[in-house]
Structure formats: C-alpha cells, structure tokens
C-alpha cells in the first residue's frame, strides 16, 4: 500500500504527455488514427548528401516523416510551412524528415537549396520506404512518437504552421505553449488550389507502379534492371 502514492504521482505527472497524443485530438487536426499505436517500420537509406541514415537515428524524437516528390505541387506548397515548424521546435525534439520518391540525389539537393529547406532529405529510389508505410499518394506525412510508434497519418496538402498544429507540437514536446512565430521560410511557387484531385490521382498511379517495381526487385525477378 505504501507504493500507492508513488504510483498515483506517476499517473498525474504523465497524464499531460499521454493526453498530448490523444487520438481524438489528432483526428480533429485531420490525421488518420488507427485503434492502438503500432511500431513504425524500420528502414535504412541514405540522404541527399550520401550519408547513411536509419530510422533509429530519430528514436527519442517526435518525427514528421514526409513522403514527397519535386513534381508534386501540393508537396512543394506545404514544405515551407514544415521548415518553419522545424525551425521553431527542432531544439525541443521535433524532427522533420523528408523521404523523396524515386528521384536522384542531385534533384533533391537542388530543390532543397532553391526552397531553403534545412531538414533532412532522404532518398527512396525503389519506393521501399513508401511501401513499408503504406503510402499510396503524395504528399503523405506520418506522425511518429518518441518511442517509435505511429500516432497518425496526414494525407494530402496540409498547412503545417497553423496555430493548432503548433500547439500540438508544443504539447507533445513537453510544453503546452507555442513560441513566437517563425518568419516565413522556403519558397512556395503557387497558391494552394481548391482541388488537387488530378495531382493525387497521377501521384497514386506513379506510386503504385513504383511500389510494384520495387516488389519485383525484392523478389529477385529483375535485379539486373533495378
């Protein structure tokens, strides 16, 4: 019985952290949330500079794992907001990780420089990481908790620097108050369109083809051409 007060204190102290990733709160922000959290698939790849990167490198951080391509207009539009979010919260444990879909390192580096993006740019030349995370169109962003669990997924364009998202990040990172807004970062070339269905359809077709080719490669049916 003497241990009971300590247990109660543990529950009280940890309650804000648990509430920060409440499924209903994430749904209100537009995330798709499964019943019960699951372990995020592990991966190993390289970044645009050729450095080896693994999913374990981000363990202990809150991660926005963003799947994108340079030819995807909604991807290009949301990335400056992601940069601002990254600049505000990186020192408190947020990592924005962009996983590029089947493009070259040079294409990715050039785009990041033009857009003034500083967060990590990873390569997925065979769409293997996209396949692991069940990505079917671009952009898609997976929210991963500090313990490596998938908390939710955002599909399509999202305004990532809105106050409600900033407040969520502040709560998840251990402080319920967002800081002063970060000045606009990156370069958005066009305004968000009312309907990007044609882009999503084209992206979905490309993704399905890419995932199918990657699957064939993994089964050894065409290693010479992979």
Please tell me the total number of residues recorded for the chain in this structure.
226
Q: Which domains does the chain have, with CATH numbers?
A: 22-225 (3.40.30.10)
Give me the residues of the chain with pLDDT under 50, please.
Answer: 1-20, 190, 223-226
- The pLDDT score that the predictor gives to residue 186 is 66
pLDDT at 2: 47
Please indicate whether residue 75 is annotated as part of the active site. yes
The H-or-E segment that residue 75 falls in is helix 73-89
> Looking at 72, 75, 212, 217, which residue is catalytic?
75
pLDDT of the residue at 15: 37
For residues 77 and 192, is the Cβ–Cβ distance under 8 A? yes
Q: In this structure, are residues 105 and 45 in contact, taking their beta carbons and an 8 Å threshold?
A: no
**pLDDT at residue 194, as a whole number:** 54
What is the reported pLDDT for 211?
57
- Measured on CA atoms in the order 124, 130, 135, 141, is the torsion positive or negative? negative
The pLDDT assigned to 181 comes to 74
Establish whether the linkage from the previous residue to 86 is cis, with ω within 30° of 0: no
* pLDDT at residue number 22: 82
Q: What is the pLDDT of residue 36?
A: 74
- Give me the pLDDT at residue 183, please: 74
pLDDT of residue 219: 60
């Amino acid at each position: 019985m003497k241990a009971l007060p300590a247990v109660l204190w543990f529950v009280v102290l940890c309650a804000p952290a648990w509430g920060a990733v409440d499924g209903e709160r994430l749904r209100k922000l537009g995330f798709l949330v499964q019943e019960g959290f699951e372990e995020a698939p592990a991966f190993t790849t390289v970044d645009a500079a050729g450095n080896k990167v693994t999913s374990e490198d981000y363990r202990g951080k809150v991660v926005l794992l963003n799947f994108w391509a340079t030819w995807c207009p909604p991807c290009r539009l949301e990335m400056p907001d992601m940069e601002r979010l990254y600049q505000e919260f990186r020192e408190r444990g947020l990592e924005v990780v962009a996983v590029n879909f089947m493009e070259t390192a040079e294409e990715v580096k050039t785009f990041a420089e033009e857009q003034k993006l500083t967060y990590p740019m990873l390569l997925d030349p065979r769409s293997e990481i996209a396949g692991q995370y069940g990505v079917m169109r671009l952009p898609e962003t997976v929210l991963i908790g500090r313990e490596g669990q998938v908390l939710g997924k955002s599909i399509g364009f999202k305004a990532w620097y809105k106050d409600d998202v900033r407040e969520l990040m502040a709560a998840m990172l251990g402080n319920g108050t967002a800081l002063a807004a970060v000045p606009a970062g990156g370069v958005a070339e066009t305004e968000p369109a009312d309907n990007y269905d044609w882009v999503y359809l084209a992206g979905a077709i490309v993704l399905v083809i890419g995932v199918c080719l990657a699957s064939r490669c993994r089964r050894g049916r065409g290693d010479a051409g992979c």
